[in-house]
A = this chain, B = another copy of it.
Amino acid sequence: MGQTQRAKSLAAETKILDAALHLFSRQGFQATSVREIAELAGVSVGNVYHHFGNKEAIFQRLIDRYWEALLDPDLPLNQVFRQAQFPDDLELAASAIEQIVDQHQEEILLIYVDVIEFRGEHIRTFYETMADRFQEAYADSFAKAKREGRLGDIDPMVAVMTACRWLFYFFTVEKCFGVPMHLGRGSKEVVDEFIRILRYGVLPRDDGHRPRVATDKDGTTSGRRA
């Protein structure tokens, strides 16, 4: 009850933003009316316009909020980037990306709303910023690994981009688009296999590298189909 004006105002703004996020991510921008947002937020239409200049400003604020969350240095994925241990950090990266997609399902759908209903510049800046951060984070690490022969013949920068994009899209398909199964295999199973492919490739190795276990020939170790 005894809330200050600022606190009440901020609470109302949050309620409006949350309601808008819920609706925008489920039915798109144009298909969501200000009346719907107001009703779900439990405020009047007039009050919505007291806090936001117009409908699009609400959308913009939601995008900004997601963007800020992605740039947070404390975000696990950003910690992984700072360590720059590719390809050893692939498991860490995978679970960090899974966490992002899990916690920001609606915001990720918002990005696709932006792609469709606006001209989609946010997804462009997203990929371009990601590219810059890869360069920053991994350039030194890769130069050193190259000198020490710890990396193969491929371009590790392309590899890390490939991996992150795949993981991001994989979890997006699973959590946001609702395609939970993949060839009858579970999510973790597929991600682990993807990481192994990245590290060792699908073609057999004649050297000592035995990715899964040791010398088994039939590969019955992980209980796949007969």
- Residues on A lying within 8 angstroms of B by beta carbon are 25, 27-31, 86-87, 109, 112-113, 115-117, 120, 123-124, 127-128, 131, 134-135, 149-159, 161-162, 165-166, 169-170, 173, 177-179, 182-185, 189-190, 193-194, 196-212, 219, 224
Contact = CB atoms under 8 A, between A and B. Distances in A.
Given A87-B203, A123-B177, A203-B209, A158 B185 contact: yes
B201 A152 contact: yes
B202 A182 contact: no
29 contacts: A25-B116, A27-B116, A28-B117, A87-B202, A113-B116, A120-B177, A120-B178, A123-B177, A124-B177, A131-B183, A149-B204, A150-B204, A151-B204, A153-B211, A154-B193, A154-B196, A154-B211, A158-B183, A158-B185, A158-B193, A159-B193, A159-B202, A161-B183, A162-B166, A165-B169, A197-B197, A200-B201, A206-B209, A207-B207
Contacts of A204: 149-153
A201 B206 contact: no
Contacts of A127: 173, 179, 182
B27 A117 contact: yes
Contacts of A159: 193, 197, 202
Nearest 5 A/B pairs, CB to CB: A201-B201, A206-B207, A30-B31, A200-B201, A152-B204
A19 B166 CA distance: 33
Nearest to A126: B179
A166 to B, nearest CB: 5
Contacts of A155: 185, 193, 224
Contact of A197 (B162, B178, B185, B196): B162
Nearest to A185: B158
